[in-house]
């Protein structure tokens, strides 16, 4: 087992991971499960962490991947339908409400909303979503950190407004 530097303290990031998880799950109980899965995976794969790497960004990436994998599993599970001749209404409603068309509409609407963002707001928002820190985005774009925060906040507000039908 590889020893890690003192800065490998994943528990110190639990509060921010919980906030991030709630953004994904929209449910406190599910968010706590997601945080627990993330911390478990981080400990399991701690030998993949490299000193000097942004630990919080590394944890967010793990969380995003865990969430996506769980979502895919749930989608596959909900799309299974009994092949017997007697299909009940529960199976029919489940297959009708969780179909690829709904995902396509959401995906298309999200992409449209992102495309409608001016580049000055789109770039910082996407970089932040990918796990970059405010100061890293500010350095890369050559703008003050306060401007980065304002642009990300504005992008969130526009996206919430444009995608309010999915809330």
What is the per-residue pLDDT for 149? 93
Kindly state the tokens that stand for 7.
């800065």
Which H or E run includes 14?
A: helix 14-25
Of 26, 23, 165, nearest to 108 by C-alpha is 165
State the Cα–Cα distance between residues 118 and 151, nearest whole angstrom: 10
Q: Are 62 and 68 in contact (CB under 8 A)?
A: no
Q: Are 67 and 34 in contact (CB under 8 A)?
A: yes
* pLDDT tens digit sequence for 61-83: 888 888 888 777 776 665 554 44
- Residue of 2, 121, 16, 1 lying closest to 58 (CA atoms): 16
Domains of the chain: 1-97 (1.10.1740.10), 99-167 (1.10.10.10)
* Residue 98 main-chain phi, psi, to 5 deg: -115, 70
Q: How confident is the model at residue 2 (pLDDT cuts 50, 70, 90)?
A: very low
Closest CA to 58 of 134, 6, 131, 138: 131
Alpha-carbon distance of 153 to 147, in angstroms, equals 10
- Model confidence at 107: pLDDT above 80: no
State both tokens at 125. Answer: 């928002």
Query: What is the per-residue pLDDT for 79?
Result: 55
Tell me the C-alpha distance between 2 and 129, whole Å: 30
Give the count of beta carbons closer than 10 Å to the beta carbon of residue 58. Answer: 20
Residues of the chain with pLDDT > 90, as a percent, come to 11
């Amino acid at each position: 087992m590889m020893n890690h530097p003192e800065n490998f303290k994943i528990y110190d990031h639990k509060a921010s991971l919980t906030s991030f998880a709630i953004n994904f799950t929209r449910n406190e109980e599910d968010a706590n499960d997601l945080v627990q899965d993330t911390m478990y995976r981080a400990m399991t794969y701690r030998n993949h962490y490299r000193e000097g790497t942004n630990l919080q960004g590394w944890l967010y990436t793990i969380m995003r991947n865990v969430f996506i994998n769980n979502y895919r599993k749930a989608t596959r599970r909900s799309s299974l339908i009994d092949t017997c001749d007697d299909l009940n209404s529960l199976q029919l409603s489940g297959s009708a409400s969780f179909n690829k068309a709904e995902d396509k509409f959401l995906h298309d609407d999200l992409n449209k909303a992102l495309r409608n963002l001016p580049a000055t707001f789109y770039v910082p928002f996407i970089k932040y979503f990918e796990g970059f820190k405010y100061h890293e985005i500010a350095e890369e774009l050559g703008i003050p950190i306060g401007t980065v925060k304002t642009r990300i906040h504005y992008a969130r507000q526009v996206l919430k407004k444009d995608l309010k039908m999915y809330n």
